[in-house]
Amino acid sequence: MTPKPPSKPIKSEIGVVEEAEEDGVEECRELEVLEATVEEEVSESAGPEVKIVKKSRWEQSRRSRKFCGKWLNIPEIREWVHPIPTDPTYVWCKMCKSKIRAHLNDLKTHKSTKKHKRNMATYEPELPPAETMDCGNGIFVSFSTPKIRQGEMEVMGLTSDATEPKEAEDPESGVLGGPNLSSMSTLGGKEVVNPASLGFIGSGNMAQALLGAFIKKGLVDPPHVTASAPSVRNLTKLCALGVCTTHDNNMVVMKSDVVFLCVKPHLLNNVIASLDPLPPDHNPLFVSIVTGHDIDSLEEMLSTLVERPRVIRTMPNTPAMIGQGCCLYTLGTHATPSDGSVMHSMLSSVGVCAEIPEQQMDAACGLAGSGPAYIYAAIEAMADGGVKMGLPRHLAQSLAAQMVKGSASMVLESGKHPGQLKDEVCSPSGTTISAMHVLEKAGFRNALISAVEASALRSKELGGNK
């Protein structure tokens, strides 16, 4: 149905519906369709009674609105909005430290308030002070000195979203004030509100990549994250980000609304078996990044802790750390649609993400999960080729990496088939076709197909689903 601008008296009751200027923003389209429907029905009916019915339908619809992950694709919104995993009917404004109803119109109204504009203009990420403190019970709360922390964060490519004290309610924007969103904590000597608490069991490469990206994107404040590992090797890196670290996996589960399982596949059974059953009022969402283990086995293992465990199985990759990841996920039997939308918005904040059927998870591992390693090896080898033919090492490596990045962008942005793009590089009797012949003779394409296949088969094997 073609959207129409509101023109009847009902307009003032339902507010202004904005154009669907951003592609793929379902919320906008839903608003427009609903708007058009309301208008049509009102024009067919005359009396005030009908109007009240329409208004009540509208109100119901408004009440049922939830945060939509696609909003994070809207440049003017994603800079300051982050989702509240525990309550998708609201979002959090990082700039104003305020909770806002998860309605696209409210977000747009909020964005144009003076207060928000002022906060946007003056917003500066800030680092927490102090030093690492052993709190006993195996818990370390990390407050590195700003200097060390800054250095560590640069190494990890991160910045902090540490925040200022909350301001009072903003009457202009319909923003709800008050610290009742979730929990309060102190960061840099100031009170901050966090929307959710995250836990990581296992603190290695992939946990650091995901957590680093979540912090960088402002999806979570470091003091509301608890991460565990048996040794301090990785924990010290997370400590430097302001995350609480511990050797006690039960502590992670008890402190978190969302628990990421990030251990190697062969350790998962024992790790879950050693967790304590949860109290009746605690039912966190478990997100497994562990290769191979399927939803059935995850649910079976976790049902020793909680009845009907809420589980999501994911396959991320390490470029997530710089917001360039590919993350696939599949929902477990007891995961709710709201768990799915929270997961989608979290993962889409670290790159592209998609929900896939579970049967495709091993293939996703073979291609997207393991794939970065194939490409790093290719970059290294091509740089070696450049060095062999006379280029300095640093230049050869930069050229190889940029060439891969540029070629990938051509595939994604030109809409052309990669075979056509390849043909456009190969001049008759030229240099490239000579090189392509060498690659064909060496079985280049066959090797890549077999690599994806081998990884996918190994993923099946690791999960015991031969």
Ligand X SMILES: NC(=O)C1=CN([C@@H]2O[C@H](COP(=O)(O)OP(=O)(O)OC[C@H]3O[C@@H](n4cnc5c(N)ncnc54)[C@H](O)[C@@H]3O)[C@@H](O)[C@H]2O)C=CC1
The site for ligand X (CB under 6 A) is made up of 201-207, 228-231, 234, 249, 262-265, 267, 271, 289-291, 315-318, 369
Q: What 3-state DSSP class applies to 374?
A: helix
HSE-CB for 239 with a 13 A CA cutoff:
24
CB 268 to ligand A1CAB: min, Å:
12
Residue 406 phi/psi, 5-degree rounding, is -65, -40
Nearest by Cα to 203 from 160, 259, 137: 259
Query: How many of the chain's residues bind ligand A1CAB (CB under 6 A)?
Result: 4
Q: Which residues contact 256 (CB under 8 A, 6 or more apart)?
A: 197, 198, 199, 226, 284
CB 209 to ligand X: min, Å:
7
Q: Which residues contact 332 (CB under 8 A, 6 or more apart)?
A: 295, 298, 299, 309, 310, 311, 312, 313
* Interface positions, 350-409, toward ligand A1CAB (CB under 6 A): 365, 369-370
- CA–CA separation, 181 vs 177, rounded Å? 9
CB 127 to ligand X: min, Å:
24
- CA–CA separation, 123 vs 190, rounded Å? 15
Q: At what angle do helices 418-425 and 393-414 cross, to 10 degrees?
A: 130
Q: Which of 173, 234, 288, 291 binds ligand A1CAB (CB under 6 A)?
A: 291
267, interface contact from ligand X, ligand A1CAB, none, CB < 5-8 Å by kind: ligand X
Residue of minimal Cβ distance to ligand A1CAB: 369
CB 158 to ligand X: min, Å:
17
Q: Which residue lies nearer to ligand A1CAB by CB, 249 or 291?
A: 291
Q: Which residue lies nearer to ligand A1CAB by CB, 351 or 369?
A: 369
For residue 24, what are its two tokens? 């793929």
CB 264 to ligand X: min, Å:
5
448, interface contact from ligand A1CAB, ligand X, none, CB < 5-8 Å by kind: none
256, interface contact from ligand X, ligand A1CAB, none, CB < 5-8 Å by kind: none
Q: Which residue lies nearer to ligand A1CAB by CB, 316 or 386?
A: 316
- Do residues 273 and 261 touch, judged by C-beta distance below 8 A? no
Q: Is 327 in the site for ligand A1CAB (CB under 6 A)?
A: no
Q: Please, which residues bridge with residue 260 across strands?
A: 200, 287
Count H helices, E strands: the chain? 19, 15
CB 302 to ligand X: min, Å:
15
263, interface contact from ligand A1CAB, ligand X, none, CB < 5-8 Å by kind: ligand X
Return the beta strands (E) in 12-168 as ranges: 81-83, 90-93, 98-101, 133-134, 139-141
Q: Which residue lies nearer to ligand A1CAB by CB, 376 or 395?
A: 376
- Catalog residues that contact ligand A1CAB under the rule CB under 6 A: 291, 365, 369-370
